[in-house]
Amino acid sequence: MGMIQTAGIALGGLALAIPVGGVMSGLDRWLTAKLQSRKGPPIRQPFLDLIKLLAKETVVTGPLQVFSPVATLTASALALGLFASGGDMLVVLFIHTVGAVFLVLGAMTSASPYSQCSAQRELWQMLSCETMLFLIAGALYFITGSFRIDSVQLYSDPLLYRTPLLFAAFLFALTIKMRKSPFDLAGCHHAHQELVRGIYTEYSGPLLGLLEIAHWLDLVLYLAICSLFWRHDIFGMILLPMMAYLAVILLDNVSARLTWRCMLKQNWTIAFSVAALNLFLLKR
């Protein structure tokens, strides 16, 4: 595949990911409202909110709060573009992690205790979430002999057949990245966050709008990673991520928030253990 073709695929994936991410965010709000017997906003509401944010005045309380949203969005876009072009899974994860680090740095520069407390919680969530993703990269290498994403298509059977425990562990990471209960410790997109808006507290206007777009891209990236477990037909590639997405929304509405200690305990004793067991069985 030539460089121009690769760049075209990456840009096309990004152009498609932004509206898809917005629709998924709107669908999240709509389904949550229905589960709570409320009318709820329309599915297009995230786009209306984004337009309103981009039209507001920019107000910052720290120097990094201008640079951090731009860096976070850039990293999310680069990671998703590289994934869409079938690049190296490890590079995708490293770039994605860099964006999360800049989000934390921007929150820590604020004097707000809400922002700083949530930034610390975000670091604990990254410790739990990013580990699962690198284990998926390890499984990809054990099965296909390569870290490249496009190598999955050359494998004869769906990865889910050989990585069911790893897929179950991935649902923990998906719940954290979607900022859903019981792991919505650092920030939440619904009105049940005790730390105001958590890590987003000190962001407003266009800068908050950039972070919303970055969140949409991260959501699409995680659902795209979910599709790797069934990459052999378009039906399975859509159905499996949608089932995981709906399961996380249902979990959000039937569970309460955990403390960060309980989150680490569950992720490192349950999710990490079953994922490591799955990798051990693959290695044999």
Residue 178 — very low, low, confident or very high, per pLDDT cuts 50/70/90? confident
> Would you state the pLDDT for residue 190?
61
Closest CA to 133 of 272, 21, 259, 234: 272
Helices assigned H by DSSP within the chain: 3-35, 45-54, 64-84, 89-108, 113-144, 164-177, 205-227, 234-254, 260-266, 272-283
Tokens of residue 190, six digits: 């619904």
Q: Are 274 and 266 in contact (CB under 8 A)?
A: no
Whether residue 182 has a cis bond before it, omega within 30° of 0: yes
> Would you state the pLDDT for residue 109?
83
pLDDT in tens, 110-122: 777 888 888 888 8
> Would you state the pLDDT for residue 233?
81
What residue type is 93 in one-letter code?
A: L
Q: Are 42 and 26 in contact (CB under 8 A)?
A: yes
Contacts of 113 (CB under 8 A, 6+ apart): none
pLDDT in tens, 49-78: 999 999 988 887 777 888 999 999 999 999
- Output b/e per residue, 113-128; b: 16+ Cβ within 10 A: ebbbbbbbbbebbbeb
pLDDT in tens, 81-120: 999 888 899 999 999 999 999 988 888 887 778 888 888 8
pTM, rounded to two decimals: 0.91
- Please count the other Cβ atoms lying within 10 Å of the Cβ belonging to residue 38: 11
> Would you state the pLDDT for residue 195?
55
Contacts of 215 (CB under 8 A, 6+ apart): 21, 25, 189
Concatenating the DSSP letter of every residue in 73-139 gives HHHHHHHHHHHHTT-BHHHHHHHHHHHHHHHHHHHHTS--HHHHHHHHHHHHHHHHHHHHHHHHHHH
Residue 271 DSSP code = I
Cβ-count burial of 35 within 10 angstroms (0-12 exposed, 13-18 middle, 19+ buried)? middle
Ramachandran category for residue 259: left, alpha or beta (phi over 0 → left; psi -120 to 50 → alpha) = beta
